[in-house]
A and B are shown apart, each in its own frame.
Chain A
Amino acid sequence: GNSVTQMEGPVTLSEEAFLTINCTYTATGYPSLFWYVQYPGEGLQLLLKATKADDKGSNKGFEATYRKETTSFHLEKGSVQVSDSAVYFCALGDSGSARQLTFGSGTQLTVLP
């Protein structure tokens, strides 16, 4: 079956630090990959996505590259801000699945001023 493994948190960084949140996946088909963000008290929002190998998704300074050879989709940002404090979820959508997203367990990020 499908699964997503995320780097365990929580992660605490100082403002302007470099961020990496690791994500690896197992899929029966050829999935699309997503990063969602959940700000405190809110629902999840799509942050970025990639639909094929070597694609790079980017949004709000965040980037992630679809690496099929390593089955990974690590999230990076060069300089985090306090406003980036949130929970980040890696997810995959697979044509071989029951038409649903499979989520990782989430990584709590706290950015200190």
Chain B
Amino acid sequence: NAGVTQTPKFRILKIGQSMTLQCAQDMNHNYMYWYRQDPGMGLKLIYYSVGAGITDKGEVPNGYNVSRSTTEDFPLRLELAAPSQTSVYFCASSPLGGRNTEAFFGQGTRLTVV
């Protein structure tokens, strides 16, 4: 059971570089999410998607972009990396939304921007 798979697990970027964090799920879930987790803090929603071709901003979208061309994949793009983007990034998926949201998480990507 693969569930939600994130790659890479770790990455160090220089300021101004760009990269894409990959996320794939094999559970045929419609809803997918990107969260960031800063030390000692809870999770903040960056972007989410309710189905292929549909994305929307979360709480902290600045500096990020997403796309959802298939049900399975939901990559997160950082265009111009900044030190403030140093964080642990989690992708999650859910079969339903709203009060029935029961999210399944990937193992995370630890990103450091230097």
Contacts and interface: CB of A to CB of B under 8 A. Distances in A.
Interface string B31-74: 10100000011110100101000001010000000000000000
Interface string A19-42: 000000000011110100000011
A100 B60 CA distance: 14
B16 to A, nearest CB: 29
A99 B103 contact: no
B43 to A, nearest CB: 5
A34 B98 CA distance: 13
- Main DSSP-derived SS at the A contact region: loop
Contact of A44 (B48, B50, B90, B100): B90
Interface residues of B, number: 26
A27 to B, nearest CB: 9
Q: Give chain A's interface residue range (CB within 8 Å of chain B).
A: 20 to 34
A94 B107 contact: no
Contacts of A101: 33, 101, 103
A98 B107 contact: no
29 contacts: A4-B42, A29-B99, A32-B101, A43-B4, A43-B92, A43-B107, A43-B108, A44-B43, A44-B90, A44-B92, A44-B105, A46-B102, A46-B104, A89-B42, A93-B98, A93-B100, A94-B98, A96-B98, A98-B48, A99-B101, A100-B45, A100-B48, A100-B97, A100-B101, A101-B33, A103-B42, A105-B40, A106-B40, A106-B41
